[in-house]
Amino acid sequence: MAYARRKALDMTAEHLLSDLPQLRTPCVMVIFGVDGDLAKRKLFPALYNLMSGRFLPERFSIVGLDRAEMTTAEFREKLDRVIGDYLPADVEQSVWQALSERVHYLAGDFQEGLTYRRLNDLLQQVDASAGTGGNYIFYMATIPGLFGQIVMHLGEYGLTVERDGTWRRVVIEKPFGHDLESARALNRELQRVLQERQIYRIDHYLGKETVQNILVFRFANGIFEPVWNRQYIDHVQITVAESLGVEHRGRYYEEAGALRDMVPNHLLQLLCFLAMEPPNSFAADAVRDEKAKVLRGVVPLSSLDVLRFVAFGQYGPGTAEGKPVVGYRVEPHVAPTSMTETFVAMKLFIDNWRWAGVPFYLRTGKRMARRLTEIVVQFKRAPFMLFRKTAVDRLAPNVLVIRIQPDEGISLRFDAKVPGPTVRIGTVDMDFQYADYFGNAPHTGYETLLHDAMAGDATLFQRADNIELGWAVVQMILDVWKSLPGAAAFPNYHSGSWGPPEAEALLKREGREWWDGGRA
């Protein structure tokens, strides 16, 4: 085992660098909202990591747009001042400098046609000076309300037209609408200008190595897939817990809430990877077809089901990392009588041959006991009859835990005999941590996704039908919750806990309990 670990660590750099081939096709990445938080925290650090690993095209440039009046030189200086907080501690200044020198800035109003005329002129200048060949990837790091308008203007000025072998792609951040109707409307708006193959709907959770590894874990290992079904699995838990509160996102959260913010995208994407049938290849549409089948198979919730199988919560005051923190209603830009949920848990079923009768428990929340994203697969207990005349009073179920963050890895819990003259059973864990075997390569979760978007690989991006099917799963929950204003006694869980008692009851009434990062 030690030899295998040393060998894996020795291979880390070579392995990670060979995973992503260097892009050969030149291009320009156009970032709308380049002066915003997303660009500084995620996009530029991810581009730095790609450039440091020599994954970007040799002929690559960035054009950033935002409202503030600045020259390119002034924006580069501003970026140099703030980017140090987000880059790796061992940043190579020469690499950052080389990336910074490829950045061009354009000030303008995204809702005015003149901005796009000037953008067209600037892109032609960049193509001529940097040899980027007319290939453009437009990244929407803006508020969602601008997505449709920006794409419409890009279309009006011919910036989405592919001719003479060039390509044009648009990357859109979540949220993709705020309910099923608005998601359909956004898809129609985008598809009036773009072909579906030009649209890359990004979910940064799918950039995490452990999420991508779910498919490899299932389909590349002959010992797991045969038991990955209703005959052997008792239930599945998917948890996305955050220890932070809403912080500066109060305005957004008042409009969204935990359900809209997390379930139609992050949690259902994890559900799809876990439950999907094996695709016939890893081609984009083959994978997305299987994900769509999972979402179509989710049993629709009736209004009565929502009341029985869904729990809402809102955090009150409590402690976080040993320090007192305020409740949601006292956060900036939050109404003092807000009924917005900061926690949601639910039980879903998938009506197909593999999963019939197996409950999937999903939960997500703010200000919980710890930051944690994990999938727990609990297997059915073995028959007890063999042990009925021994000191063993019960058999613990086998549990497989896929940890997505913060400590990426996979563990398997099983029973073993405790040494001694009598038959006693103890629970043991086989634990694999990515850092032990493959090291800790710097990443933001966006590197693979940006690389794939430039390469034209849409496997990890959401298709229009996947988006609408995800919203369809939660639409009844939204409708029922909207029709019951004031029904919940908010706040109903204190900061630093694992959520409200109603969420515990979802499992307890069936003899189960949440894993809570290690508790069986």
Q: Give 139's contacts (C-beta < 8 A, 6+ positions apart).
A: 29, 30, 31, 32, 43, 171
For residues 238 and 360, is the Cβ–Cβ distance under 8 A? yes
Distances in whole angstroms, Cα of residue 421 to Cα of each of 391, 414, 418, 424? 11, 21, 9, 9
Q: E strands within 242-325?
A: 310-313, 315-316, 318-320, 323-325
- Catalytic, 266? Answer yes
Closest by CA to 402, choosing from 248, 249, 262, 224, is 224
For residues 157 and 117, is the Cβ–Cβ distance under 8 A? yes
- Residues written for the chain: 520
DSSP 324-385: EE--GGGSTT--TT----SEEEEEE-B-STTTTT--EEEEEESSBSS-EEEEEEEEPPPPSG
Per DSSP, the chain holds a count of helices (H) and strands (E) of 18, 18
Q: Give 447's contacts (C-beta < 8 A, 6+ positions apart).
A: 20, 46, 49, 50, 55, 207
Rama region for 194: left / alpha / beta (φ>0; ψ in -120 to 50; rest): beta
Alpha carbons 412 and 396: distance in angstroms, whole number: 12
- Tokens 């910074």 locate to 100
Alpha carbons 349 and 360: distance in angstroms, whole number: 6
Catalytic residue among 15, 266, 333, 451: 266
Q: First and final CA of the chain: distance in angstroms?
A: 27
Catalytic residue positions? 266
